[in-house]
Amino acid sequence: MYDLIPGLGQFVGTVGRLDLETSGLLLLTNDNALAEGMTNPAYKLEKTYLVKASTLLTDEQLSQLAKGVELSDGITAPAIVKRERDSEKYTFLEITIREGRNRQVRRMLEAVGSKVLKLVRVRIGPLTLDGLQMGKWRELEPAEVVKLRKLTRAKERS
């Protein structure tokens, strides 16, 4: 990943993580307080993923995902789940979570009897992949940083 940002001139760390089998939005920052605010489960910053499931999922399975499913480390918080489309053998869905457990979306699909064939993170809070080609990066606009700080501080006060 760091080979994509040569000559940056300063150390940056990741905000959250993507496993080897997941692609999509990854934020790098040198602002430790912002990174903490974005990854701390107490702040409940939304992360949205596009999923290709290994099976056709029923409405009941999608409802289970939305309500929360039992994992080895406890029940998941409710999620926002939208069926994008079905093909002959697979369901494509969008899932938005507010937690950041290890391999959470994959484990959630397994809990309802399916598996993830493809997983792409497309949103973290207000940040999206819109207009950004795969393997490319951009600096955040100052207004985006302000918004992220406000979102995490707002959660801290509530």
| CA angle at 20 for the pair 17 and 21, rounded to the nearest 5° | 110
- Rounded Cα distance between 35 and 14, Å, is 8
What SS3 class is residue 129? coil
Q: Which domain holds residue 78?
A: 2-144+151-157
Q: Active site residue: 3, 19, 31, 86, which one?
A: 19
CATH number at residue 44: 3.30.2350.10
Predicted confidence at residue 157, as pLDDT, reads 43
Domain count, the chain: 1
Per-position pLDDT tens, the chain of length 158 = 555 565 666 678 888 888 889 999 999 888 888 888 888 877 788 999 999 999 999 999 999 999 999 999 999 999 999 999 999 999 999 999 998 788 999 999 999 999 999 999 999 999 999 999 988 888 899 999 999 988 887 454 44
Measured in Å, how far apart are the chain's first and last C-alpha atoms? 35
Residue 19 known to be catalytic: yes
Say what the pTM is: 0.89
